Chain A
C-alpha cells in the first residue's frame, strides 16, 4: 500500500497559510521579531517567531464558537492549520458543509504532536494573588480563598491531547486519535505514526502534524537556563537564528502549527486528489546521552533513524535530492546532527542539498517537524529548493551542502530529520509521485 499526502496546512511566523510559509521561505523572509505578548526586556533572548494576528472565531463553525474560550494558544493555532489542510485537500468535513461530507468519519484518524501547554500566567495570577500571606504564597489560603475563583474548565485548556480533540470534534474524526508528546520531535513522529496507521489499515485518512506555542515567559526562561537560547541578536532578529553557520549561537523559539492530510492511495486516486508526495519510508531511534538535553556528539541517534528510514523506503542515499534537517543553531547539536546525516548517507551526505528552516520560522517545538514536511512537499511540488537563510559560511565541522542559491530541479526523494532534548529522533522520506 502507498500513503499519499494530499493536503497541506500551516500557521507560522511567516503567515496564516502554508502558502505564506512557502513564499516566505522562497524570498528568505524572517518571521522573528521582538516579543510582543510580554515585556521581554530582562530576558537574555527577547525575540521570537510570532504568528501574525488572527481571530480563532473566524476559523471555527458557528456551533463551536462558544467552545473557543476553552482554547489555549496551542489549540487555536492547531485548529487554523487543520482547517487549511482539509480545504487544500479538497475535502469537505462537517466543519465546512454538514450536507456534503466527503470523509468517512469512523475511518478518519488524527495524530498530532503537542507539548505541555504553558499556562497563561496572567489568567491564573489574580487567583494566586488571593492566596498570599505576608508577601508569600500560602497554599492553605489559596485552597480556602481562591481555588474556586479559577475558571471551572481551566484544566481542559492545558491538556496536550486537546489539540487533537478539538480538531477531531470540529471535523468529526472518529477513528484513531493520538497525541505524541516527544517535544521537538513530536510533529514528525506524529506524521510517521499516521503513515503507519494508514499502512496497517486502521484508517483510510489521517490528519497529522503538530503545533505548539513557545512564546511565553516560562519556556523562554527554561530554554535560557538550558543555554539553548540565542542571546546575541536581540537588536537584529532577522539574523538571530543561524543553523549550521560558523557563527551559530543558539535557538530562537516561536509558535506554529502545521499538518498534512494523508490518505491511502486508492482513496486519493479514487477522488482525483492532487498528490504532493507519497511517504516512502519512516525510521526512528533514540539518543542515550546522560546529558539529556543534547544529541550524542556523533549524532548516532540521527544516523540510526535515517538508516531505518532508508531501509524502509528501499532506496540508496544518492537517490535523495533534498534534506530538511532539524537544524536548531545550537552549535553542538548542529555538529552532531550533521555527523549523523553524513554517517547515514556516506559520501552523498556532503553533496545533497540541505535546507534548514528555523532561521526563518524559528524553533516551534512540536510544530517544527510538521513545518519541515510541509516545506519539503512544497519543494517537491514546485521543483524548487529555495536558498537557506543566515548561513553565509558553513561551520567546518558540519560539512553539509547548505543551499546557497535557489535550485530548480526535480526532487525525487526528500528526507526530513528531527531530534529533541530527551533523545527521540525520527526520519521521514518523501517520494515524488512522478518518478
Chain B
C-alpha cells in the first residue's frame, strides 16, 4: 500500500475461546504441553458418520463474560464464543464493554469491528424433519406440509441468528463500536483476511481501534456431512488425538474445530495515548486469489506465493527476515504439500532454515476463526521466544522437507512471524507481525 498513507498499527489485546481452553493462558499452556482438543463428537450424534470425532469447545458459559447474557444468549454458538473472546481482548486492552457510557478514552465512532465469521448452524431437527414432513416420495416436496411443520417449529429470534453477520452484531452491542463494522467469510482464510482488512482500515486513518478476528462453528450435521463428502476430514476414528498430523506421510485430512479468536488492533498513536501495553506490531498483509479451480489449490501454489510475496513487500521485508511461519497446515494431503511448495518457492535457500509449524495438530481447524487463533500463537511465540510445535509429527512425508518444529516446542529468538491462511476456492491471506520496538519505524 502507498507508504505515505500508512499509520503504525499494534496489537493491544487478545482473547480466545477454543478447544484448548477459554483463555490465552490455557491455550498456550495446551500448545506447549502437546495437549489435544480432539475427542468423540458430542454436539450431535455423529456415531454413524464417516468422521465421528472433532475438536469441540467444552463447558462454555456465556454468563461469565457479560453481565447482560439475555442480550446474547439466543445468539448462535459462535456468536456466544465471540463475546467471551472479545471480553478477554478488551479487558487486556483496557476497552470497556457492557456499558452505554464508556470512560476508556476511545471515541466509539472511531472503533470498529472486522470479523471472519460463519453463518449459524441450522436447527437440524427442524431442517431435516420439515423436509421429511413435506417429501412425497416421488421427487417433490409438498410445500404446504413443509410450511405447516416449519411454521409450528421455527422461532423468529433463532432464525435471525443464523445469518452470518450476527456475530458482528453481538460484538457491536457488547462493546458499543460505531465505526467501520464488517464481516467476511472467505472460508478457512476468513479471520486472517479480517485482521488484514482491519489493519488497512487503521492505516487509512478510518478508525483508531479495530476489534478483529474470527468466530465459527461448523460442527453440525450438515457441516460435517459436507466436509466428509469432500473427503477433507480425517477418518482416524480410533485415534482422535493423533488424527491431525500435518506434514506427515500418513496424514488423511483435517480435524474440524470451533471457537472464537480476537485481537485488538490499534494505531500506535492511540495505544500510546491510552498508555496500554503493546503486544506486537502488525506490519504486513497480502491477499490473493488462485483463480484456478473451486475444488483444488493451484498446483504451483500460485495464489499462496502471491499472497506471501505481497505481505513481504507490504512489510518491506525479504525472505531472510522471517523467523517463524505459522502455517495453514491442515493435515490434508493437498494443503500441506502445496503450502510447503509455496514456502520453498518464496524462501528459496532460506526455506530450510525457517521454522514452520501447525498448531492445528492440537487445536484442530477452527475454519473461519483459525487464522486469528493462530495469529495469537505468533504473538505468544514472539513474547516468550518459543516456537509452538507441530504435534503428531512421527512419520515425516519424505516429499516435505522443511523444519516443521516436530512435536516439542523449541526456544528461539523470534522477532518477526508470518501467519498464512488458505481457503476453499483459492482464497489466500497472509499477515506479518513483529516484536514491538519503541522508537523504531518498520
Q: Which residues of A contact B193 (CB under 8 A)?
A: 178
Among residues of A, the one whose C-beta sits closest to the C-beta of B155 is: A225
Q: Which residues of B contact A165 (CB under 8 A)?
A: 289, 294, 424-427
**Residue B431 is within 8 A (CB to CB) of chain A in the complex:** no
**Residue A370 is within 8 A (CB to CB) of chain B in the complex:** no
| A132 vs B137: C-alpha distance when bound (angstroms) | 12
**Residue B290 is within 8 A (CB to CB) of chain A in the complex:** yes
Contact of B287 among A158, A177, A420 (CB under 8 A): A177
Stretch at the interface among B139-147, B317-325, B397-405: B139-147
Check A115–B1 contact: CB distance below 8 A: no
User: Closest CB of chain A to B323's CB: distance in Å?
Assistant: 25
Stretch at the interface among B161-169, B246-254, B356-364, B375-383: B161-169
Check A159–B187 contact: CB distance below 8 A: yes
Q: Which residues of A contact B164 (CB under 8 A)?
A: 115-116, 160, 181, 183
**Residue B339 is within 8 A (CB to CB) of chain A in the complex:** no
Check A153–B229 contact: CB distance below 8 A: yes
Check B295–A177 contact: CB distance below 8 A: no
Among residues of A, the one whose C-beta sits closest to the C-beta of B425 is: A165
Q: Indicate with 1 or 0, residue by residue over B289-307, a CB within 8 angstroms of chain A CB atoms.
A: 1111111000000110010
Check A176–B295 contact: CB distance below 8 A: no
| A150 vs B182: C-alpha distance when bound (angstroms) | 33
Q: Which residues of B contact A233 (CB under 8 A)?
A: none
| A126 vs B310: C-alpha distance when bound (angstroms) | 46
Check B289–A177 contact: CB distance below 8 A: yes
Q: Indicate with 1 or 0, residue by residue over B303-337, a CB within 8 angstroms of chain A CB atoms.
A: 10010001000000000000000000000000000
Contact of A43 among B147, B200, B291 (CB under 8 A): B147
Contact of B2 among A67, A151, A200 (CB under 8 A): A200
Q: Indicate with 1 or 0, residue by residue over A195-206, a CB within 8 angstroms of chain B CB atoms.
A: 011011110000
Given contacts A41-B144, A174-B302, A284 and B132 within 8 Å (CB-CB): no
Q: Which residues of A contact B228 (CB under 8 A)?
A: 147
Q: Which residues of B contact A43 (CB under 8 A)?
A: 147
| A40 vs B161: C-alpha distance when bound (angstroms) | 24
Stretch at the interface among B19-27, B171-179, B271-279, B387-395: B171-179
Contact of A181 among B117, B303, B310 (CB under 8 A): B117
Among residues of B, the one whose C-beta sits closest to the C-beta of A70 is: B294
Q: Indicate with 1 or 0, residue by residue over B198-222, a CB within 8 angstroms of chain A CB atoms.
A: 0011011010000000000000011
User: Closest CB of chain B to A292's CB: distance in Å?
Assistant: 5
Contact of B172 among A106, A221, A420, A423 (CB under 8 A): A423
Among residues of B, the one whose C-beta sits closest to the C-beta of A173 is: B291
Check A161–B48 contact: CB distance below 8 A: no
**Residue A162 is within 8 A (CB to CB) of chain B in the complex:** yes
Check A143–B288 contact: CB distance below 8 A: no
Stretch at the interface among A23-31, A117-125, A342-350: A117-125
User: Closest CB of chain A to B338's CB: distance in Å?
Assistant: 16
Check B229–A292 contact: CB distance below 8 A: no
Among residues of B, the one whose C-beta sits closest to the C-beta of A424 is: B181
Q: Which residues of B contact A139 (CB under 8 A)?
A: 44-45, 48, 124, 128, 221
| A244 vs B44: C-alpha distance when bound (angstroms) | 46
For the residues of A in contact with B, the DSSP-based class is mixed
Among residues of B, the one whose C-beta sits closest to the C-beta of A285 is: B178
Check B427–A39 contact: CB distance below 8 A: no
Check A136–B129 contact: CB distance below 8 A: yes
User: Closest CB of chain B to A103's CB: distance in Å?
Assistant: 11
Check A156–B424 contact: CB distance below 8 A: yes
**Residue A286 is within 8 A (CB to CB) of chain B in the complex:** yes
Check A217–B182 contact: CB distance below 8 A: no
**Residue B39 is within 8 A (CB to CB) of chain A in the complex:** no
Contact of B131 among A129, A156, A288, A424 (CB under 8 A): A129
Check B178–A140 contact: CB distance below 8 A: no
User: Closest CB of chain B to A146's CB: distance in Å?
Assistant: 10
Given contacts A152-B230, A196-B204, A286-B181, A147 and B294 within 8 Å (CB-CB): no
| A76 vs B124: C-alpha distance when bound (angstroms) | 27
Q: Which residues of A contact B204 (CB under 8 A)?
A: 196, 199-200
| Most chain B Cβ neighbours within 10 Å, of A106, A122, A143, A226 | A143
Classify chain B's interface size.
35 or more
| Most chain A Cβ neighbours within 10 Å, of B140, B193, B226 | B226
Check B156–A288 contact: CB distance below 8 A: no
Check B132–A155 contact: CB distance below 8 A: no
Check B160–A169 contact: CB distance below 8 A: no
Check A301–B178 contact: CB distance below 8 A: yes
For chain B, residues 98 to 136, give those with C-beta under 8 angstroms from any C-beta of chain A: 109, 112-113, 117, 119, 124-125, 128-129, 131-132, 134-135
Q: Which residues of B contact A137 (CB under 8 A)?
A: 125, 128-129, 131-132
| A180 vs B116: C-alpha distance when bound (angstroms) | 9
**Residue B47 is within 8 A (CB to CB) of chain A in the complex:** yes
Q: Which residues of B contact A178 (CB under 8 A)?
A: 184, 186, 193, 197, 287
Given contacts A168-B291, A288-B172, A200 and B5 within 8 Å (CB-CB): yes
Q: Which residues of B contact A156 (CB under 8 A)?
A: 230, 294-295, 424-425
**Residue B412 is within 8 A (CB to CB) of chain A in the complex:** no
Contact of B128 among A128, A180, A217, A421 (CB under 8 A): A128
Q: Which residues of B contact A221 (CB under 8 A)?
A: 147, 150-151, 154, 159
Contact of B173 among A121, A189, A226, A289 (CB under 8 A): A289
Q: Which residues of A contact B424 (CB under 8 A)?
A: 156, 159, 161, 165
**Residue B28 is within 8 A (CB to CB) of chain A in the complex:** no
Check B168–A116 contact: CB distance below 8 A: no
Among residues of B, the one whose C-beta sits closest to the C-beta of A165 is: B425
| A177 vs B129: C-alpha distance when bound (angstroms) | 37
**Residue A304 is within 8 A (CB to CB) of chain B in the complex:** yes
| A155 vs B125: C-alpha distance when bound (angstroms) | 19
**Residue A383 is within 8 A (CB to CB) of chain B in the complex:** no
Check B425–A150 contact: CB distance below 8 A: no
**Residue B225 is within 8 A (CB to CB) of chain A in the complex:** yes
Check A161–B187 contact: CB distance below 8 A: yes
**Residue A172 is within 8 A (CB to CB) of chain B in the complex:** yes
Given contacts A196-B200, A422-B165, A174 and B46 within 8 Å (CB-CB): no
Q: Which residues of B contact A142 (CB under 8 A)?
A: 48, 128, 221
Given contacts A165-B289, A175-B289, A129 and B135 within 8 Å (CB-CB): yes
**Residue A317 is within 8 A (CB to CB) of chain B in the complex:** no
**Residue A105 is within 8 A (CB to CB) of chain B in the complex:** yes
**Residue B185 is within 8 A (CB to CB) of chain A in the complex:** yes
Check A290–B182 contact: CB distance below 8 A: no
| A159 vs B5: C-alpha distance when bound (angstroms) | 34
| A150 vs B50: C-alpha distance when bound (angstroms) | 13
Q: Which residues of A contact B166 (CB under 8 A)?
A: 292, 422
Check A67–B294 contact: CB distance below 8 A: yes
Q: Which residues of B contact A140 (CB under 8 A)?
A: 45, 47-48
Given contacts A137-B129, A147-B50, A177 and B178 within 8 Å (CB-CB): no
**Residue A42 is within 8 A (CB to CB) of chain B in the complex:** yes
Check B144–A42 contact: CB distance below 8 A: yes
User: Closest CB of chain A to B84's CB: distance in Å?
Assistant: 19
Given contacts A126-B139, A423-B181, A176 and B131 within 8 Å (CB-CB): no
User: Closest CB of chain A to B202's CB: distance in Å?
Assistant: 12
Given pairs A156-B230, A292-B173, A308-B109, 15 additional interface contacts (CB within 8 A): A121-B146, A122-B139, A126-B135, A140-B48, A147-B50, A148-B229, A150-B225, A173-B289, A178-B186, A179-B184, A180-B184, A196-B204, A202-B1, A284-B181, A288-B176
Question: What are 25 contact pairs spanning A and B, CB under 8 A?
Answer: A42-B143, A110-B289, A137-B131, A147-B228, A153-B229, A154-B225, A155-B229, A158-B226, A159-B424, A160-B119, A161-B185, A161-B427, A168-B426, A178-B186, A179-B186, A180-B183, A185-B165, A197-B200, A201-B2, A284-B112, A290-B71, A290-B173, A304-B109, A308-B109, A308-B206
| Shortest Cβ-Cβ A-B pairs, 5 listed | A143-B48, A155-B226, A165-B425, A177-B289, A42-B147
